Amino acid sequence: MANIQKIEDLLTDPLSHKGYGIVRVKISGEIRPTLQIMIERLDGEALIVDDCAIASYTTSALLDVENLMNSAYVLEISSPGLDRPLVKIADYKKFVGSDVTIKTAQALNNRKNFSGKLESAAETAITIKLDAPSATEEALVEIEYVNIRSANLKSTI
């Protein structure tokens, strides 16, 4: 399987020069793997099909030259969508004040699923204000990044 970090490192600067930031790089499937690269526009505008085409052309050319995929693969360039994943610490910092859903690897206060407003994002942990805390739990919960299995913005639609 190809090294996801090497792929992201290869693509970050060239895509940035074209006005795109990488949200997430993911590889799925074994026989003919799918390389999914989720991008966003650095100017904050909505991503359109032409943006995905530009990023796809750039990505394909670089991956062909560097040969980082070990076999034939399917390239998928996409928008993060309304329920954008939060992957990097910078993502959490960027979206402080937003509604999020968090799934943890280890239970905190006997639960692994949290929903609420992202109150803060420090270097090692985030704090969220729960939408509906139970009678026995605090409204604010601190979750360390190492315990976050997945995190997404909550869709407002």
Residue 97, CB-side half-sphere exposure with 13 Å CA sphere:
1
**Residue 100: how many CB atoms within 10 A of its CB?**
21
Q: Higher-confidence residue: 80 or 137? A: 80
Domains of the chain: 4-78 (3.30.300.70), 89-153 (2.30.30.100)
Question: pLDDT band at 7, cuts 50/70/90?
Answer: very high
Helices and strands (DSSP H and E) totals, the chain: 3, 8
Query: Which tens digit of pLDDT belongs to each residue from 20-64?
Result: 999 999 999 888 899 999 999 999 899 999 999 999 999 999 998
- In Å, what is the CA distance from 139 to each residue of 81, 89, 128, 144? 28, 22, 8, 17
Residue-wise pLDDT tens digits, 106-147: 999 889 999 999 999 999 999 999 987 777 778 899 999 999
pTM above 0.85, yes or no: no
